[in-house]
Structure 1
Amino acid sequence: MAATEHARPGTPCWVSLQTADLTAAQKFYGAVLGWTFRPGSLGEDFRVALSGGRAVAGLGNVARAMGVPVSWTSYFAVDDADAVASRVRERGGTVAVGPLAFGNGRAALAADPAGAVFGFWEGRVLRDWRIGHGVAPAWLELRTRDCFDAALFYSGIFLWDQSQETDVRYEDDVVMVSVGGHTVACLRGGGVEAAPDPKVRPRWHVYFRVDNVEKAVEAALLAGGSVAAEPGLSMVGHEATLCDPEGGIFTVTSGPPD
């Protein structure tokens, strides 16, 4: 059994794909990212994606039942899910689901005032899962209209502004968030308008590390996916943004290892 711990509040602790076809999602992400899968602890509609036998992400066959688009959702660790839900509402956000009991913890799905969906989790988390390390996602980024307004919102709900371990700083036109000296998220604003194209709606965006970006792009196309942004360089490294066959958007990167 994987070791667990209580994460620092406000730290990203998991990512999960809300899919409408669990079998097809496993086939696609297995082909593109080389993942294998095992049953999750939440029932037949959930799977845990593995890389080298270590947990990377979750997949839940819940998009159709919840009436939400297929998408990747980022979860943040909290001490008190009810208190965080109250702060979300007080600051103009929306709590769509929960907090509800799941396994050995409690989870909720919410949206910030700009509409970016995120989750938060009250309970123990995987000890070796950390953004930018090991098999966990390489990078986590909020793409929104105003990164400063977003920083105020998330600082308020996760109490980043009250923690001596959390540093929220402006750097190269983005807001960088570090917890315990480790960068956990980037908030990027500007150039995102209220357009019907889902590629430009405010969202938390997940980057997964691959050995070869071009090969991942080729595998995605062969598996029925599409390319949202062609391979190129960014602050993370060499990358490309892909869509799975159901429209779930993510980025693959061969950025520098830990």
Structure 2
Amino acid sequence: MSWDCREGELSAAAAPPWLAPLVDQPGAVKAAYRRRVPAEVLAALTAANTTAAVTGARRDAAVLVLFSGPGDGERGTLPDDADLLVTVRASTLRHHAGQAAFPGGAADPGDKSPVHTALREATEETGIEASRLRPLATLEKMFIPPSGFHVVPVLAYSPDPGPVFVVDEHETAHVARVPVRAFVNPENRIMVYRSENTRRTAGPAFLLNEMLVWGFTGQVIAAMLDVAGWSVPWDNDKLYELSDAMALLDAEGSYGDAQR
């Protein structure tokens, strides 16, 4: 049995109605993600993916995309108290140091599947009890240079995931269940680019009280908001270089009421 097998691990029927658009069309998230990526960036990603495959540098990985909230509701209507589990990686890590991310990481030799990897990593990083969670679907793989990870996002749900916390400060700096409305709030949405790139390569980001969510994680969240029907109009002309955007985290009152 290959690591890619999900047989018997997913229960789409456990999804509340408000998550149904994401569960019913998992391929749509990657499609929405790719539509947002500038053509030159997409070409570079494709080339890097091919090179990594040829050289054997590409590695399997999985992340847990955990939504919590009520078990009822209406399709496409976001509940006020829905939240999403997000971590901030320790600044000392080799790859993606200091970035906000979904809990997850590289597959271990003993992992049976992406679901197994995502749940194991989430438990190790956030102390969450995997038995409280219901894996719903796996989104399509996405390649992330420079780490070489070929990542499978695992969509999961829990009406009550219990407490989460930093287990190992050498790996994780912060853990939070962030209200999904904070990502929807147009006051918290900006565009970010890195100084070594051009402004044309800027991607969606979310400036919250304790973290800047950008890069792969920001792209995936933005794509999910679109696919689920939760997005509202926002000013995508709010453009910042990454270090300038990070500096805003320390500027009191600079980004609105981030948790609403």
TM-score of the pair, normalised by structure 2? 0.30
The structure, 1 or 2, with the larger RCO (C-alpha pairs under 8 Å, 6+ apart) is: 2
